[in-house]
Amino acid sequence: MKVLVINSGSSSIKYQLINMEDESVLALGLVERIGIEGSRLEQELANGEEFEIKKDIPDHSIGMELVINTLTDEDKGVIGDINEIVAVGHRVVHGGEYFDKSVIIDNDVKKKIEECAKLAPLHNPANLMGIEVCERLISNAKQVATFDSAFHQSMPQEVYTYALPYEFYEKYRVRRYGFHGTSHQFVAQEVAKKLDKDIKDLKIITCHLGNGASITAVDGGESLDTSMGLTPLEGLVMGTRCGDIDPAIVPFIMEKEDLSPEEMDYLMNNKSGFLGISGVSSDSRDIEDAAADGNERAQLAIDMFAYRVKKYIGAYTAAMNGIDALVFTAGIGENAIGLREDICNSLDFLGIKVDVQRNDVRGKFTQISPDESRVKVFVVPTNEELVIARDTKDLIG
Ligand code: AMP
């Protein structure tokens, strides 16, 4: 049984074709720069073979056609016929309060995804576009939606409610939702398996540290609290997002700089974080290089990032009244060796220890704490596509 996993963005389509018999990835690829100059598709096969097709891709429909043609191509393809794809699993960012798990897509589901676009205007419309294109082009396959926010629907009311007049929750559903849920859930489950313990008996803090970054307190297998909020802007310092700031800063800067709400939103989402602090780049590798060359603001960006991660770990340990395991995942979490060491070393009072040799690892499932460490610390490569494919398989039976 073959499942196609789609992550449709505003100008890109990421995809993986997964054989669910053994969960092997047959092909993975990316269509990017849809609707802009320089559009292209790149695909990698299980044997490591990579290739690229450069051509005009004016919209998602043409992009998806290209994906299908590439997957079924006589020479480079991995399937003989499109009907071999039994189901398509779609990543959808915001499911609001409607979805606490993956669902088979029908008209009602699509209507709700569209409604949630008010809360995720950059993501949900692009996700929906991917769904509709696949419904047309891969019409024999069942379509399933997996939501980034679903895992966090277990948060209790006192955690998800903001201390604003309650009417804004009632009128607009303004509350904490949280994101990266598929990733937090996956890495927490992997760690429970590795420890050979029932996840119900574990208190785990999962740090998804990538260009977008969030931390979750996973208590007994459920999300108790998470650092992102109504939108993916709240919480940690990120590549271009500011994370937590005093809300009074927003009207202050808008007034001083004569900014509209849209311009202020753009500034906080696209011009802040690593990029805004350092003035160098949004990419942590560039920031590390600049800091090594003596750039003080790049060093400040790193220090601020590490400090806030540490602060959330402390807060979530308190929220759960304990911690059994700490997990690092995503681009920075899986690769930034020095950062992991610094964060863990400054949390030794909690019983968190790191083994320097074990920590010398990138992108590999590894316990990086010494055996005697009371809190077990892991690097776990995330695999959101696999979660989507598994959910899709389970739902269609
Ligand atoms: P993601 O959003 O999960 O793709 O993560 C992107 C972030 O991970 C960027 O800030 C990258 O600089 C960082 N990253 C990716 N690979 C590495 C690496 N080998 N070493 C350090 N950081 C990395």
Q: What is the pLDDT of residue 118?
A: 86
Q: Which residues contact 209 (CB under 8 A, 6 or more apart)?
A: 236, 309, 328, 329, 330, 331, 332, 333, 336
Could you check whether 2-147 and 197-384 share the same CATH topology?
yes
The number of the ligand 1 atom at minimal distance from the alpha carbon of 333 is 8
The number of the ligand 1 atom at minimal distance from the alpha carbon of 274 is 10
Mean pLDDT per block of 10 residues along the chain (397 residues) reads: 93 95 96 92 94 93 94 92 95 96 98 92 90 94 97 98 98 96 97 98 98 97 98 96 98 98 95 96 95 97 98 98 98 96 95 97 97 96 96 94
For residues 218 and 151, give the distance between their C-alpha atoms in angstroms, rounded to a whole number: 10
Measured N-to-C along each axis, helices 181-195 and 384-396 cross at an angle, to the nearest 10 degrees, of 90
Sheet with 50-54, edge to edge strand ranges: 50-54, 40-45, 24-32, 12-19, 2-8, 85-92, 142-147, 103-104
For residues 274 and 362, give the distance between their C-alpha atoms in angstroms, rounded to a whole number: 21
In Å, how far are 150, 153, 183 from 100, measured between CA atoms?
4, 6, 15
148 is annotated as an active-site residue: yes
Query: Which residue lies with its CA nearest to atom 15 of ligand 1?
Result: 331
Q: What is the pLDDT of residue 389?
A: 97
Burial class of residue 259 (count of CB atoms within 10 Å of its CB; 0-12, 13-18, 19+): middle
According to DSSP, the β-strands at 2-8 and 85-92 are parallel
362 C-alpha to ligand 1 centroid (Å):
11
306 within 8 A of 299, measured Cβ to Cβ: no
Supply 231's token pair.
């939108």
The number of the ligand 1 atom at minimal distance from the alpha carbon of 288 is 21
Q: Does the C-beta of 281 come closer than 6 Å to ligand 1?
A: no
Q: Does the C-beta of 145 come closer than 6 Å to ligand 1?
A: no
Q: What is the pLDDT of residue 82?
A: 93
Q: Which residue of the set 148, 219, 324, 342 is catalytic? A: 148
Q: Does domain 2-147 have CATH number 3.20.20.70?
A: no
97 within 8 A of 170, measured Cβ to Cβ: no
- Residue spans of the domains in the chain: they are 2-147, 197-384
Pick from 7, 335, 361, 384 the residue to mutate for probing ligand 1's pocket: most ligand atoms within 8 Å of its CB. 335
Q: What is the pLDDT of residue 119?
A: 86
380 C-alpha to ligand 1 centroid (Å):
14
Q: Which residues contact 320 (CB under 8 A, 6 or more apart)?
A: 203, 205, 217, 219, 224
Query: Which residue lies with its CA nearest to atom 22 of ligand 1?
Result: 332
| DSSP code per residue over 296-341 | HHHHHHHHHHHHHHHHHHHHHHHHHT--SEEEEEHHHHHH-HHHHH
Q: Does the C-beta of 285 come closer than 6 Å to ligand 1?
A: yes
Q: What is the pLDDT of residue 286?
A: 95
Location of structure tokens 């020095």: 338
**Architecture (CATH level 2) of domain 197-384:** 2-Layer Sandwich (3.30)
Q: What is the pLDDT of residue 104?
A: 98
Supply 43's token pair.
């695909």
Burial class of residue 368 (count of CB atoms within 10 Å of its CB; 0-12, 13-18, 19+): buried
Query: Which residue lies with its CA nearest to atom 19 of ligand 1?
Result: 335
244 within 8 A of 209, measured Cβ to Cβ: no
Q: Does the C-beta of 273 come closer than 6 Å to ligand 1?
A: no
Q: What is the pLDDT of residue 336?
A: 95
Pick from 32, 206, 211, 360 the residue to mutate for probing ligand 1's pocket: most ligand atoms within 8 Å of its CB. 211
Q: What is the pLDDT of residue 179?
A: 96
For residues 205 and 223, give the distance between their C-alpha atoms in angstroms, rounded to a whole number: 10
330 C-alpha to ligand 1 centroid (Å):
7
238 C-alpha to ligand 1 centroid (Å):
11
Q: Does the C-beta of 210 come closer than 6 Å to ligand 1?
A: yes
Sheet with 203-209, edge to edge strand ranges: 222-226, 213-219, 203-209, 325-329, 376-379, 366-367
239 C-alpha to ligand 1 centroid (Å):
10
Closest CA to 12 of 65, 78, 60: 60
